[in-house]
Chain A
Amino acid sequence: MTLNRRLFTTLAASALAFGLVAPAIAAELEDIESAGTVKIGMLVDFPPFGIQDSAGKPDGYDADVAKALADYLGVDAQIVPVTGPNRIPYLLSGQVDVLVASLGVTEERAQKVDFSDPYAGISIAVYGDASVEVTDAAGLSGQAIAVTRASTQDSGVTGVAPEGTEIRRFDDDATAVQALMSGQVKLIGASNIVMSQIGAATGDRFDKKFDLSSQVQGIAVSPGSDALLDKVNAFVEQAKTDGMLDGIHEKWLGEPLPDFVKTAQ
C-alpha cells in the first residue's frame, strides 16, 4: 500500500514535472494592461545578467531589459526573482507573465515555452594576446591555451584543437584568466562575459581569435500568449534597431550587442 502510494506520488510528480497535468496558463495582454503591471521573472544570481544591487534590488542586463519592456508595454514592472530550475514552472503556472531570465533558446525549451527573438547571448571563443596571430583552430597547434576544467570552453577547445596543442586545464575561471594575465599562456578559451570583466583592466591587450560556440537567450512567454509575444517581439525589434540593447549591453558587458544575437532568429 505504502509502495503504491509512493508510486502514485512519483508518477504524479513526474507528470507534473513534464507538464502533463497542469496546463500552461497563458498570459493575456489585455489582463496585463488593465492591471497596470507586468510580472517579470528574472534571475538574480547570474552576473552580469541578473544580480542584486547593494539595496537588494534586482539589477543587471536582464533588469534593464525588463524595465524597458514594461515601459514599452506602458505598465509598471514587477520583478519576481526566479532561479534556474524554477523559472519555467513559474512562467507556466502564471506566477509571472514573462521571463527575462537569461533563458537560453533550445529545442527542448521551445516545446514548453514560446520564445521571442533573441535579446542577448553568450558566446564561447578563443581569446588571446593581440600579438599572437591565430585565426582558426588549426592555428592552435604548438600553442598553450588555458581553459577551465570541465567547462563548455574545455569541451569546445578540446573538440577542435589539432595535434600539438597544449591544453592547460585550471580549476576555475579565475585561475585560467590569471594564467593568461600573467603571460603563462598566450591564449584562453573563455566566454564573452569573463572577457568583458577583465577587459576593463587590460584594455586592448587581448582580442578575440575565433568563435567556438554561442547560445542566444530569448524572452519567454507561456504558450498561447500570442498577443503578448507579438508585443515582446516588437519591443526586441525596436530595442535592437534604435540601439537601446547596444547601450544596455555596453553598460554591463563592455561591448555592443554581438552580431550573432542580432542576426539570430
Chain B
Amino acid sequence: MYQFNFQPVFDSLDLLAYGAWLTVKLSLMAMVLGFGVSVLGAVGKTSGIKPLRWLIDIYVEVIRNTPFLIQIFFIYFGLPAVGLSMSPNSAALLALVINVGAYGTEIIRSGIESIPKGQIEAGRALGLNPVQIFRYVVIRPALRNIYPSLTSQFIYLMLTSSVVSVISANDLASAGADLNARTFASFEIYLTLTVIYFLLALAFSTAFGMIRRVFFSYPASR
C-alpha cells in the first residue's frame, strides 16, 4: 500500500499557486489574442479575396495538422536561427496564440457561414451600413452559434499550455516538475496538479457561461 505524504506539496503551495497564476495569465492572454486572430482569420476566409483565403488556408492546415509540441519547439529553438529570439514565456504565448488561432478561425468561419444570406439582406434593407451589418447581423449571431465549441477550444488551450514546460517556460506543470525533482513525491504532486487543472477548467467554464448570459442571451427566434 502506497503511503501518501502530502507534506512536500503543502510546504510548496506558494510555488504551485504561483505556477497556477502563470498558467491562468498565459491562457487568458492566449485566449484574448487568439480570439482576435480567429476573427481576423475567419473574416479573411469568408471575404472572397482568393490569395488571402489561400494564405489563411495554408496557416490553418499547417497548424491543425502538426503536433503542438513540434510547433513550440520550432518557435523557441528554430526562430533564433533567423534572428528572432524571445524568452521562453513569450515563445509559449506566441505558440499558443498561433495554435488556438488556427482552430478558432475554422470554428468562427463555420459560425459566419451559418448566417443565412437573407439575414444580411434584411440588415441592408433596414439601412445598416456594412460595419453595423458585420457587427450586429453577422458576427454576433455567428459567435452565439459557435460559442460552445469556441469556449471548449479555449479550455483545451489552457490544458495544452501544460506542454510549455518543455521550453522551460514557467507554468503550473513546470512548477510541479521542479517540485517533483526536489522531493520525488510524484504521485502526490501530480494528483495535486490534476485537481488544480480541473478546478481551473471549471472556473473558466463558469466564467464563459456568465459571459454567454451577458452577451448572447438576447431573444432569438431559434
In angstroms, Cα B173 to Cα A149, docked, is 13
Residues A171 and B76 in contact, CB atoms below 8 Å apart: no
The residue of chain B having its C-beta at the shortest distance from the C-beta of A167 within the complex is B168
Whether B77 and A178, one on each chain, are in contact in the complex, defined by CB atoms closer than 8 angstroms, is yes
Contacting pair A183 B80 (CB below 8 A): yes
B5 CB to closest chain A CB (Å) equals: 19
Contact of B77 with A168 in the complex, beta carbons under 8 Å: no
Instruction: Looking at the assembled complex, report how far the CB atom of B94 sits from the nearest CB atom of chain A, in whole angstroms.
Output: 14
Give Cα A175 to B169, complex, Å.
Answer: 13
Could you mark each residue 157-190 of chain B with 1 if its beta carbon is under 8 Å from any beta carbon of chain A, else 0?
0000000011110000010011011100000000
Q: Evaluate contact between A170 and B178: CB separation under 8 angstroms.
A: no
Is A213 in contact with chain B by the CB < 8 A criterion? no
Distance, CA A169 to CA B19, complexed state (A): 14
B166 near A170: Cβ-Cβ < 8 Å: yes
Which chain B positions have C-beta within 8 A of A184? Answer: 76-77, 80, 85, 88
CB <8 Å contact, B88 and A168: yes
**B191: CB under 8 A from chain A?**
no
The secondary structure that dominates the B interface is helix
Residues of A near B168 (CB, < 8 A) are 146, 168-170, 179
A182 contacts the other chain (Cβ, under 8 Å)?
yes
What is the interface size of chain A, counting residues whose CB is below 8 A from a CB of the partner? 14
Interface set, chain A 119-176, CB cutoff 8 A to B: 146, 149-150, 154, 168-171, 175
Are A169 and B76 within 8 A (Cβ)? no
Could you tell me if A154 and B166 are in contact, using CB atoms closer than 8 angstroms? no
Partner of A182, one of B81, B166, B182: B81
- Whether A149 lies near B178 (C-beta < 8 A) is yes
Q: Closest chain B residue to A147 by CB distance?
A: B168
- CA A169 – CA B181 in complex, angstroms? 11
Q: Chain B residues with Cβ under 8 A from A182's Cβ?
A: 76-78, 80-81
Complex alpha-carbon distance, A14 and B181, angstroms: 29
- Which chain A positions have C-beta within 8 A of B81? 182
* Interface 0/1 of A168-210, CB less than 8 Å to B: 1111000100110011100000000000000000000000000
**A179 partner residues in chain B, CB cutoff 8 A:** 77, 167-168
Give every chain A residue within 8 A of B182 (Cβ-Cβ).
150
Contact status of A169 and B177, CB under 8 A, knowing A179-B168, A183-B85, A184-B85: yes
Question: How far apart sit A170 and B73, CA to CA, in the bound complex (Å)?
Answer: 12
Collect the chain A residues with CB atoms within 8 Å of residue B181's CB: 149-150, 154, 169
Partner of B174, one of A169, A175, A178, A183: A169
Chain B contact residues, CB within 8 Å of chain A: 76-78, 80-81, 85, 88, 165-168, 174, 177-178, 180-182
Q: Can you list 14 A-B pairs, Cβ within 8 angstroms, ordered by A?
A: A149-B178, A149-B181, A154-B181, A169-B178, A170-B167, A170-B168, A171-B177, A175-B166, A178-B77, A179-B77, A182-B80, A182-B81, A183-B85, A184-B88
17 more contacts with CB within 8 A, not counting A149-B177, A183-B80, A184-B76, are A146-B168, A149-B181, A150-B180, A150-B181, A150-B182, A154-B181, A169-B178, A170-B168, A171-B165, A175-B166, A179-B77, A182-B78, A182-B80, A183-B85, A184-B77, A184-B80, A184-B88
